[in-house]
Amino acid sequence: MSSATSTTSLPSGLAVLTTFPDVLFIPEFIFGGLVWILVASSRVPSPILQGWVMFVSVFCFVMSTTLLCLYFCGAHGGSSSWVTLVSGCDK
């Protein structure tokens, strides 16, 4: 039994903004920033809860920005394991 494996090259540089799965970084970046702003400007009865939500939103925003910058720089080197990394971070 033979299995066909497809190899796809991961984009780098401005080509990241032209492929469908990778172009989703842009709305993720925009909405991540909006969530960060909305959480920071809201008032809650227990500030410790807001701190944890703020930590998670800032952490996810920074990780998305870092992944986008790494894709722009071409740090993935064409390795397909980066697809798993990105899909794991986006959940």
Task: Convert the pLDDT of each residue in 27-37 to its tens digit.
Answer: 877 888 888 88
Give the model's pLDDT for residue 1. Answer: 41
Higher pLDDT, 71 or 1: 71
51 falls within a domain: yes
Instruction: Kindly state whether residue 70 falls inside one of the protein's structural domains.
Output: yes
Residue 2 pLDDT > 50: no
* Number of compact structural domains in the chain: 1
Range(s) of the domain holding residue 65:
46-78
Q: Strands, DSSP E only, in the chain?
A: none
CA nearest 83: which of 67, 59, 72?
67
Residue 67 is assigned to a structural domain of this protein: yes
- The mean of the pLDDT values for the chain is 74
Q: How far apart are CA 55 and CA 49, in angstroms?
A: 10
In degrees, rounded to 5, the angle at the alpha carbon of residue 13 between the alpha carbons of residues 63 and 23 is: 60
| pLDDT (average), residues 16-42 | 79
pLDDT of residue 9: 66
Q: Is residue 59 part of a domain?
A: yes
DSSP letter, residue 3:
-
